[in-house]
Structure 1
Amino acid sequence: MRRTIISALRATTTVGGALVGVALALTSPALASPALAAQAGAAGFPDAVQAGSTWTARTGGRMLVDNGADMDQLSAGGKQTLLAGEAYERKYGSYSKDGAKIVYSDQGTKGFGAQIWSMDSSGRNRRQLTSLDTEAFGPELSPNGKKIAFQTQGAIWVMNADGTGSRKLSTDGYYYGTGISWAPDSAKFVVTRGQIDERSGEPYQLEIVTMNADGSGETALTKSGGDKNSPAWSPDGSTIVFSYTTTKAQQQGDTYDLWTIKSNGNGLKQLTHTKNVSEQDTVWAPTGAAIAYASWAEQTETSPRVMKAKADGTSVTSLDATGYPTAWS
């Protein structure tokens, strides 16, 4: 089952000899996780978001949410659509550390399909940074503001923050799954890496992998099999949270839960245990005290809801917003 890969990518294929983008962004995830919403309401958490509210001042900061077409920015003042798009055009927005800039992917005027762009956090001063002959998506600004890591189909790239000096860092012969997250010191980032089935061309055995900013020192933190995606490095550098379904769970058709592992590869721990509800695309609060993520009930929902929890996975509440959180500033 490739649910998380399908839900997070726009793949490419060939039709009539021409490359085209295949919209995969929302073929499986879903909205409004009723199981988690009921859990939050029953527990009576004091920071629970009331019906009709988009955000609360107590949550703090701003969050970018990708609903599969638009890029929304949530704040105490409500929801603002920074960029509007067409269905299945994910934006993958990422803030600079000071919150002043956003890098994202969008349909380019040059090159093929989506390219990497930058803009002010107000939505002004849009500028195209890449003009590749393949789709580019999932950009992440390094905390020191010097580099942008991004993806093409199954590959990892890094370039300077102004769009110059782009080069592929990933190892040929492997598949690199969705999600890139920098360590706080900008020296490394974390991704997922998988084997490729020679017969089907499908990835499998995805593991959590760290890589130096120059592409060297690729190190697998997990060797547990199953399917993993969307790793996110904590602001203090100690922990990586990711979405994971074990090999056994895959065989049983179970859903994806959130797990954590220490950045040194120790202490693998399961955060959520939500039967028939999947979670992925986690972002950390700047303080490291909370996380937000996309959640959906596999059998009943068709779009993801944005949920918030403490960093240990407890005190789950709904932010009453739909889509995939991509950054929290």
Structure 2
Amino acid sequence: MQKQALPLLAMACLCPLLAIAQAPSRAAAACRSDTARQISVTGTGLGRSFQNPCFSPNGRVLAFTNFATRYNTGKSVVRTVPAEGGAVLAALSPTSAQSVNLPGQCWSAATDEVAYSSDVVDRDEIYLAPAAGGASRRVTRRPGFLAWEPSISPVLSEGKRWIVFESHSQANPEAGGELWKIRSDGTEPAVRLTQSHNDRQPEWSPKGDKIVFQREVGPESWDVFTLDVATGAVFNVTRAGELFNTDASWSPSGNYIVYSSGDADVEIANVFVIPANGGNRIRVTRSCGLDGAPGWSPDGSTIAFESAPFDPDAQGSTTLWTIDAPAGVR
């Protein structure tokens, strides 16, 4: 894989953005044994790593996080691009901060806004931005705490929308995460949903009755759980923490969950689908590198994800890809 990338990397002095985009892509294609397709992202001033794809309600556009330096490193901007690929449509967050959207469900159909977290002030808070671009609106104001990974609910029965997010102590951000929710207009105090665990990456179900998230169940062990919003009951969906089950989001029917996970023949992580009530999982992608942060299209036909033909935590960056959802699974 690296040998295939070297000729293009050698062109960096002539065309750096082209080399950054193409070199990992050719290696990634050689690394794959599935039908996934890369999403081309073009434009000026782009960062190096494309992450966290999140479909618009009509499925025509993706929001994503664009890290400047490499995977999860440097300043980052939440941008939009046509779902089939092409030129960036808009930058939704400031270019002077580290701003990150959640893959899967970050886009409100009710108001056409995208939720993201940003450290544009002295700590990470939650913001809502018009999907077409324009001024963002700050939702959370929580001195001493960090707010990450926001997902916005559909309009619920009481006529309200809520944002669920991952909360950490500002003094000790590496400590366990908690799940909190807040009204999307920020008019009521935030409410804690979980505690005494390390819970991360929450996402509302399409009906707004459940939240899917990942919980640390042991050293280097993570499972995908759901939380019943009305009762507070939690359910372990994956029950195999040693496989490092993370990055969960819903199918449009709410009957399935897509997530990233390992296996005996998966060195880093690939994308899998599992019934929301547990059961046998289905492997969706087949890559020798990382496939993660998956999000389902609103019509159920396609799953978008980030990918690299290596471990991007150790080197390099990711690009955006799509693959057909498993037959009969929506």
Normalising by the residue count of structure 1, what TM-score does the alignment of the two structures yield?
A: 0.70
Residue 151 (structure 2) pairs with residue 140 (structure 1): yes
CA displacement at 1:175 relative to structure 2: 1.0
**Residue aligning to 2:5:** none
**Residue aligning to 1:187:** 209
Match of 1:150 among 165, 180, 202: 165
**Residue aligning to 1:81:** 91
Match of 1:223 among 214, 232, 239: 239
User: Which deviates the most, 127-136 or 298-307?
Assistant: 298-307
Matches within 5 A, 1:231-310: 231-246=248-263, 254-275=267-288, 277-298=289-310, 302-310=316-324
Runs of 5+ consecutive residues of structure 2 not aligned to the other structure:
1-22, 44-57, 68-75, 169-176
Distance 1:299 1:182 in 2: 29
Distance 2:40 2:228 in 1: 44
The code of the aligned residue for 1:236 comes to S
CA displacement at 1:312 relative to structure 2: 2.3
**Residue aligning to 1:92:** 101
Distance 1:265 1:51 in 2: 35
Q: What is the aligned residue count?
A: 261
Residue 123 (structure 2) pairs with residue 127 (structure 1): no
Residue 29 (structure 2) pairs with residue 37 (structure 1): yes
The code of the aligned residue for 1:65 comes to F
CA displacement at 1:108 relative to structure 2: 4.7
CA displacement at 1:38 relative to structure 2: 4.2
SS in 2 for 1:272: coil
Runs of 5+ consecutive residues of structure 1 not aligned to the other structure:
1-30, 197-202, 314-329
Distance 2:39 2:322 in 1: 13
Counterpart contact for 2:149–2:165, Cα < 8 Å: yes
CA displacement at 1:146 relative to structure 2: 1.1
Closer/same/farther in 2, CA of residues 269 and 156 from structure 1, 3 Å limit:
same
The code of the aligned residue for 1:176 comes to D
Counterpart contact for 1:32–1:295, Cα < 8 Å: no
Closer/same/farther in 2, CA of residues 38 and 119 from structure 1, 3 Å limit:
same
Counterpart contact for 2:198–2:215, Cα < 8 Å: yes
CA displacement at 1:249 relative to structure 2: 6.4
CA displacement at 1:86 relative to structure 2: 4.7
- 1:62-84 deviations in whole A, cap 9, x for unaligned? 11010131111002773132224
Q: CA RMSD in A?
A: 3.1
Distance 1:165 1:299 in 2: 39
CA displacement at 1:259 relative to structure 2: 1.1
Match of 2:194 among 151, 158, 170: 170
**Residue aligning to 1:312:** 326
**Residue aligning to 2:13:** none
CA displacement at 1:100 relative to structure 2: 1.2
Runs of 4+ with deviation above 6 angstroms: 49-54
**Residue aligning to 1:71:** 78
- 1:20-56 deviations in whole A, cap 9, x for unaligned? xxxxxxxxxxx8343443478x99x7x96797878xx
Normalising by the residue count of structure 2, what TM-score does the alignment of the two structures yield?
A: 0.70
The code of the aligned residue for 2:118 comes to D
- 1:193-223 deviations in whole A, cap 9, x for unaligned? 1135xxxxxx532111000225701111121
The code of the aligned residue for 2:228 comes to N
Distance 1:210 1:60 in 2: 25
Closer/same/farther in 2, CA of residues 229 and 299 from structure 1, 3 Å limit:
closer
